[in-house]
Amino acid sequence: MANVSKWMAEARRLEAAGDLSAAIDQYRKALALQEQTTGAADLSLYNRIGDLYLRCEDVARAIASYGKAADHYEDQQLYSNAIALCKKMLRNAPDHAPAHRRAGRLSALSGLEADASASYETFARRRFDHGESKEALEALREFVEVSDSDRSRLLLAEYLERSGYQKQALDTLYDLWEARTQDSGNAAEIRELMLKIDPSADPKVGSRRSDPPLADTQVDALAGSDDADAEAASVPDPATTAGGEQTEMASLTGELQRVLDGLDGDERMRRALPIIEQLIEFEPDKIELLQKKLTYALALGNDETAIEAYMALGSALERRLNSFSLRFLTTSSSTGSVASAIHVESRTAGGREDA
């Protein structure tokens, strides 16, 4: 793995020198060799490469890099990590429709029903408003399959009715009405929805189910053969507003707390680290977050992330404390380690002392 260390060190040197394209090439070489020799890769490198592409204003390649990391996290059932990357994609490309659908699926698999519903609804609304009813219905069918929730069925019925498929919408609502009736749940609201679509469709009068539930192939046939442009959308994304950022920060904080409360050991740190990185994007000078990132990265042996956190922490302290100055002197070409000098300036004497 000597070449990996060499390329990583060279990538960091190039990045520090501002040659971002060359740094990306070196990181990609290191990543490819890791995958070739070990069958696995340091997934933080995908994130790092994505960040560098963003700095180069190449959003498309950044999104692709984040997506690859999300693929690997999903394969490992590390859904929280993959969701964090979906959110990162959407902050930088709010119109990237596939990320909305993917975030919905991952949230449903994680049992985050409210988040799943919001993501699927956003995807369906955007595709429907863009004339892509086939994609909207396919996604909502997927939502029903992965969550089997009342909310997923209500959304599917809503968009079936909006797409002009009243019978299929009523069949979907009838199944939900019947299930709630059997479970002694509140079926009145479902009946009201059915009567709103068709005043003669009273489920109390008799079964409306004459056909099997709408299958995926039927959705294709009903919705036609639209050619979907999954990248395009026109509805403003709430996460781009100040209120949206506050909501996302609250969501990330809650997600982090669930990980910290529910797990321990390496798994806890592995799942928490990408969430912390997402929070740092909102609060880049928050010392507590930077300290946690550094601590977890060191404990997990993630040298690249540890160095990044170390440098960011030094810069944040420098901005916050007038008496603090961190100077990075050398970067080892063989190990990639960073040597630094910390200087503390006396507030009274004005001199400088090495600490």
Residue listed under structure tokens 């040298």: 303
**Domain range list for the chain:** 129-233, 321-355
Model pLDDT for residues 73-110, shown as the tens digit of each residue: 888 889 999 999 999 999 999 888 899 999 999 999 99
Which tokens is 67 given? 């997506």
Host H or E run for residue 16: helix 2-16
Flag whether pLDDT at 288 surpasses 80.
Answer: yes
The two tokens of residue 319 are 């901005």
Which residues, 6 or more positions from 56, have their beta carbon under 8 angstroms from its beta carbon? 20, 21, 24
Q: In what order do the strands lie in the sheet with 324-331?
A: 324-331, 338-345, 352-354
Which tens digit of pLDDT belongs to each residue from 219-262?
Answer: 444 444 333 333 333 223 434 434 556 667 777 787 788 778 77
Q: State the CB neighbour count (10 A cutoff) for residue 281.
A: 17
Other C-beta atoms closer than 10 Å to the C-beta of 39 total 7
CB neighbour list of residue 168: distance below 8 Å, 6 or more residues apart = 160, 214, 218, 222
3-state secondary structure of 13: helix
Encode pLDDT of 165-208 as tens digits. Answer: 889 999 999 988 988 888 766 788 888 999 999 888 888 876 55
**Does position 329 have pLDDT exceeding 50, yes or no?**
no
**Residue 240 dihedral angles phi and psi, to the nearest 5°:** -85, -10
Average pLDDT, the chain: 77
179 CB contacts (<8 Å, ≥6 apart)? 185
Which two tokens mark 279?
């929070």
Distance of CA 37 to the CA centre of its chain: 28
